[in-house]
Structure 1
């Protein structure tokens, strides 16, 4: 179970780090909020099969976020007032 917890925490950190790379403030805050909400919602899951399924889903989402960040950097936009 300790290895599983380490995998979950590692995935969480990676997702948060990648989500923070979005050039757009709106996408960045949305992605960060979605990651946090998903992990909070599944905090109580203890079934090993379900945990593995959620880890795989998280890894797929990490790949998607990486692709979206790369695409977002190709097409820069103006910063919003919130970004300063």
Structure 2
């Protein structure tokens, strides 16, 4: 079971890391929120088969997220008003 816990934690960190790579504010926040919600939803699962299915599914989803994050980085989006400004622009 300890191996599963470390695998799930590693997947969670990878999801957050890759979701943070999205250039667009809305996509970035959506994938961060969705990642957190999915892992929270499954945090109390104790059935080994269900955990294995979740890990398998999460790995597939992570590959898609990585590809989409890379594609997102190919295009520039203007910063939105709600995004943090560089420290040079703060008053």
Same fold (TM over 0.5): yes
Distance 1:33 1:60 in 2: 18
Q: CA RMSD in A?
A: 0.9
Distance 1:61 1:76 in 2: 24
What corresponds to 2:15 in structure 1? 15
Distance 2:81 2:55 in 1: 36
User: Which residues of structure 1 form unaligned runs of 5+?
Assistant: none
Which consecutive segments of 4 or more residues in structure 1 shift more than 2 A?
A: none
Q: TM-score, normalised to structure 2's length?
A: 0.87
Q: Conserved in 1, the CA contact under 8 Å of 2:21 and 2:73? A: no
How many residue pairs match? The answer is: 84
The structure with more radius of gyration = 2
Q: TM-score, normalised to structure 1's length?
A: 0.94
